[in-house]
Amino acid sequence: MNKSLTRSIGFWLLLVLSLASAGVGGWLIAGQVGTMTSTLLDGTATGIEVYVGQSLVVVGAALLGAGVIGLLIAIALTAVQALMPTAAPVVVEPIDWTSEADAVDAIEPATDEHPTPASSEDEAAVENDERQNGSSGSTATATKISVK
């Protein structure tokens, strides 16, 4: 979850749809309450304006509430993202291709022409290698000793 909220499509959808829902809900409430108030005060109110107006006010209130809840969730997500520790950026050094070529030229192939004198530890390692018979994970594999 190292993804930034500003790059998240879900976050932007939540924010935009919450604002749209709150806006439409507020518009429905303001329009219907204004119409009902003026017609009731004039005495020209009909059943449609009063009863349908009340239903539209309830729908508007639901949309306004959903929009406000969505905005609160978006604010909470932003706060939580701000509290989460971010991973430290990894510093990558540029590759110096000339030094790598020199290092490859400097490596000499290993030969068995001049064996080193064996110590008691080396003899024990050779005995262990012979018992493992080249199995995976053997000392011979780890130390690049040929397995018999």
Q: Residue 138: which pLDDT band, with cuts at 50, 70 and 90?
A: low
Asked whether the predicted pLDDT for residue 97 surpasses 60, the reply is yes
Residue 141 half-sphere exposure toward CB, CA atoms < 13 A: 7
3-state secondary structure 65-132: HHHHHHHHHHHHHHHHHHHCCCCCCCCCCCCCHHHHHHHHHHCCCCCCCCCCCCCHHHHHHHHHHHHH
Which range has the top average pLDDT, 1-10, 86-95, 106-115, 132-141?
86-95
Measuring CA to CA, which residue among 71, 68, 59, 64 is closest to residue 13?
71
Phi/psi for 144 (5° steps) reads 60, 35
Looking at residue 134, its pLDDT comes to 53
What pLDDT, on a 0 to 100 scale, did the predictor assign at position 107? 61
Q: How confident is the model at residue 145 (pLDDT cuts 50, 70, 90)?
A: low
Question: How many CA atoms are closer than 13 Å to the CA of 133, on its beta-carbon side?
Answer: 0
Whole-number pLDDT of residue 112: 57
CA distance 147 to 129: 7
Q: What is the pLDDT of residues 28-79, one digit of tens each?
A: 999 999 999 999 999 898 888 888 999 999 999 999 999 999 999 999 999 9
Q: Position of tokens 């001049």?
A: 114
Tokens 């706060």, residue? 79
Q: What percent of the chain has pLDDT over 90?
A: 36
pTM summary value = 0.55
CA 15, chain centre distance (Å): 19
C-alpha 102/C-alpha 67 separation (Å) is: 65
- pLDDT band at residue 115, thresholds of 50, 70 and 90? low
